[in-house]
Chains A and B, each alone.
Chain A
């Protein structure tokens, strides 16, 4: 992914900022300019909102064949997470043994390195999730 695109997505990657449709109330992440259900009716009504930092694992899988920037951490779990009171997103679950990840597990957002193209390139940062304090 190029530097400009990553940079534009910095607020949502750093601070889990999504959008809420002012017409139907649906929350989207990543943020959207237009609501996919309401289309024109949502124009100018998309509100930036902070999503919850806490969520629950809805589904997960263990990655053994990792892409380049994750090769140091394999195997690792990648999960679909239901954020409290808003929406779902997909993120790695870190700071635990992948075999400990379970459906229904409470998780919380953390700030980690997402990767870099080469050693002399810009470093990308953003959210990953770890088991919530109650799970540790």
Chain B
């Protein structure tokens, strides 16, 4: 299968809030929470930003790195658990905003935090079977935790988009596989504003079981081990889980740190592992290999083995900021402004 990443782009809102400022509101120890989650700040979207605007910005950044006719894009899938509409696809607006409309297929995906990686796999299949020339997969979220809930310290906003194709490939996807079970670790019922989660249950039987099993299955399928990869990136609901999963698999912190964005921007859900991958592609050299494992509650993991090609140099441009430039931000808001921005104040 000669399918790969032709281009990629990310977007992270510029506002940040510190766990200490959230904790102060609820009368708990913010420093302890910050240490416990390994999060020093999380991104906050403006009132005029949502999954549609973030997906459009990420996709437009993707197009700034590559010369293709948007009419050659045959499919757009947007994965998110915070689509602005319950009925009316985000993907239709993205398609119109990049002038890929109307001769293409488009749909929205939902699988907690791994809807974006599922969209990549779908596009790979469509490209490999020659049903489309290029496909775009987006993972983006503006997720929220209930006020005072532990999730409020991590749930943030951001997204990344990937262009999949057979031509002009800058990073080849050597292999992908998934691991899926029915696990009730985290859910949100229709019509509910905030999700619920299984507390401690979200760790071992959910995140770790799926990420580690999927990763080991990929090692086995590809005949590789951690020493074969320069970079590894995992879904990052907080700053502790991905580091712990990486260590259990035999990866060093040096292999993990480039894709580990959660300490500074929080958990961008569907955007998380994809923004981490984008940050790696921003600096990776030709022939370097990247190990990627996403995770979505409910639950499942998608894993990818990727090799960077010489053509990666073609994506380096000053027309859009790097992921690192977007991650780095000093525009902090206080809890009251955050609550206003996120619609937590009833009016």
Contact = CB atoms under 8 A, between A and B. Distances in A.
Contacts, number: 47
Interface string A59-103: 000000000000011000000000000000000001100000000
A24 interface: no
Contacts of A10: 96
B321 interface: yes
Nearest to A111: B56
Interface string B40-58: 0000001111101100110
Nearest to B325: A133
Contacts of A94: 46, 48
B53 A72 contact: no
Contact of A73 (B46, B50, B318): B46
Nearest to B340: A72
Contacts of A15: 97, 99
Contact of B49 (A14, A112, A133): A112
B57 A110 contact: yes
A94 B50 CA distance: 15
B71 interface: no
Contact of A111 (B60, B99, B321): B60
Interface in B119-168: none
Contacts of A11: 96
Nearest to A73: B47
A113 interface: yes
B14 interface: yes
Nearest to A113: B48
B47 A72 contact: yes
A63 B241 CA distance: 45
Contacts of B50: 113, 123
Given A14-B97, A73-B47, A111 B53 contact: yes
Contacts of B321: 133
A14 B92 CA distance: 12
B48 A73 contact: yes
The size bracket of the interface on B is 20 to 34
A30 to B, nearest CB: 17
Interface string B49-85: 1101100110010000000000000000000000011
B46 A95 contact: yes
B318 to A, nearest CB: 8
A128 interface: yes
A125 interface: yes
The size bracket of the interface on A is 10 to 19
A123 B47 contact: no
Given A14-B96, A14-B97, A133-B321, A72 B341 contact: yes
Nearest to B318: A133
A72 B45 CA distance: 12
Nearest to A95: B14
Contacts of B49: 112-113
A60 to B, nearest CB: 18
Given A72-B47, A94-B48, A113 B53 contact: yes
A34 B52 CA distance: 33
Interface string A115-133: 0000000110100100001
Contacts of A110: 57
B93 interface: yes
A111 B48 CA distance: 9
B343 to A, nearest CB: 8
Contact of A125 (B14, B53, B60, B340): B53
A42 B118 CA distance: 50
Given A72-B47, A128-B48, A112 B96 contact: no
A107 B52 CA distance: 22
Nearest to A69: B48
A91 to B, nearest CB: 12
B102 to A, nearest CB: 12
A93 to B, nearest CB: 12
A22 to B, nearest CB: 22
Query: 4 nearest interchain CB pairs?
Result: A72-B47, A113-B48, A112-B48, A111-B56
Given A110-B57, A113-B48, A128-B48, 9 more contacts: A10-B96, A11-B96, A15-B97, A73-B48, A112-B46, A125-B53, A125-B97, A133-B318, A133-B321
